[in-house]
Structure 1
């Protein structure tokens, strides 16, 4: 469901309800889309007038101070949520290499978001084979430390078989629906059905390509069909040439 709100500048802006969150990876505003946003405010403040979610990818590469997250949380409205990517020092570590201290440090940092923390995204490397014991250990640690749902984006074919699906559902971890899919079955959400998390990386050229209108229509139908049963997130990650912002705006107008 959508609602339309008239902002102080007199422009009607469409916002999604809490059951459907649309945004991009990061909140940069490409030059070609500047007119769709207010002129004043920080990039995040301007971004948040059109979207109700964003994915923080920089946390994957480097830590941010808690006060940085606090500042970001204060820059957005009450209905806005952040998805934060788990540091690769945790998600890409071999068994036993990450410590509880790593997770606790990350949890303390993102606690600065307060109630604006919506999801923690765990992206595994393509070489990460599904191994039940490792998965149980990692997600048990994350669940006990992080006060939000978890979504994972595996990229090895072993994660798309029934044993992995069953375990993720039992652990209340959603599996990302990814495009382009790295393996058969990766194009559809999986794992815990209480969260549907879509990540659109761009196709045919990953990170660069803009999705054509017919692809946005298919995505719209998929989101609407799933919204009755779960919290739905849709993040465009085709940011290299600014296509993510254009696609996200287009999707909102089509819903």
Structure 2
């Protein structure tokens, strides 16, 4: 691949689930401003998880959007009202409210994340109805993180792909030895920490393997997001920085 061809490729977006900067890493994010402003000088993406638990006013999303560079993108997690309480059924009103809120991010809204509860089995009719409602509201990139084995089937893959919804590649995987599949145009990796979910840091070997997979996907024309969710003990930021460095080494090497 020539350097001219490389320039046309989309960036591999790297970030964390949230932009909180602990005292251990604060020195790596220089300058004045809020945590988000400082975070966005280093990373080009972040995943908003708080939207899963409570709504945010449009003016809050607009303020966040104004705090970051033009190239920065937000992924926003859909409310648990939609995924865990309504379980994708009769969710039109909740979807509309969420899109009105998150839509205030404007062009900086890069992705919507739908995380399903482990107990939610795949039902083709309800899934198709929900995805159709979602697609009437937005053409944005959408990724789904299923956690029940019935979503890891050809029928579920076909349903997701038809709705242009990618399947999250999660670590640790919810179903051992299996990867869900959906729209192949997006690779969205959620790194929860393994073996201790939300706590464990990833070692150098894992980061190098992830960098290789991300580069291979990006070079094949796939949009790549790598989000570290191992935030409980502060491992997410160092791991995201390590992946950024590994990608630089691989690209320049």
- Cα 1:167–1:96 shift into 2, 3 Å: closer
1:141-156 alignment runs, 5 A limit = 141-156=133-148
1:128 matched to which residue of 2? 120
Q: Deviations over 1:200-252 (max 9, x none)?
A: 00001000000010010111111011112211000000000110001000000
- Cα 1:95–1:27 shift into 2, 3 Å: closer
Q: Match of 2:30, SS?
A: coil
1:12 matched to which residue of 2? none
The 8 Å contact of residues 89 and 126 in structure 2, kept in 1 or not, is answered as: no
Corresponding position: 1:21 with 2:13: yes
Q: Match of 1:92, SS?
A: helix
Residue 43 of structure 1, aligned match among 19, 35, 39 = 35
- Cα 1:132–1:185 shift into 2, 3 Å: farther
2:64 matched to which residue of 1? 72
Q: Distance in 1 between matches of 2:25 and 2:135?
A: 38
Residue 215 of structure 1, aligned match among 178, 193, 206 = 206
Q: Deviations over 1:112-148 (max 9, x none)?
A: 1000000000000000001101111111111111341
Q: How many residues align?
A: 240
The 8 Å contact of residues 82 and 119 in structure 1, kept in 2 or not, is answered as: yes
2:192 matched to which residue of 1? 201
Q: Deviations over 1:172-195 (max 9, x none)?
A: 000000000010455x46200111
1:83 matched to which residue of 2? 75
Normalised by the length of structure 2, the TM-score is 0.91
The 8 Å contact of residues 89 and 130 in structure 2, kept in 1 or not, is answered as: no
Normalised by the length of structure 1, the TM-score is 0.90
Which structure carries more strand by proportion?
1
2:5 matched to which residue of 1? none
Task: Flag structure 2 segments of 5+ consecutive residues without an equivalent.
Answer: 2-8, 248-253
- Cα 1:124–1:47 shift into 2, 3 Å: same
Task: Flag structure 1 segments of 5+ consecutive residues without an equivalent.
Answer: 2-16
Residue 100 of structure 1, aligned match among 92, 98, 113 = 92
Q: CA RMSD in A?
A: 1.8
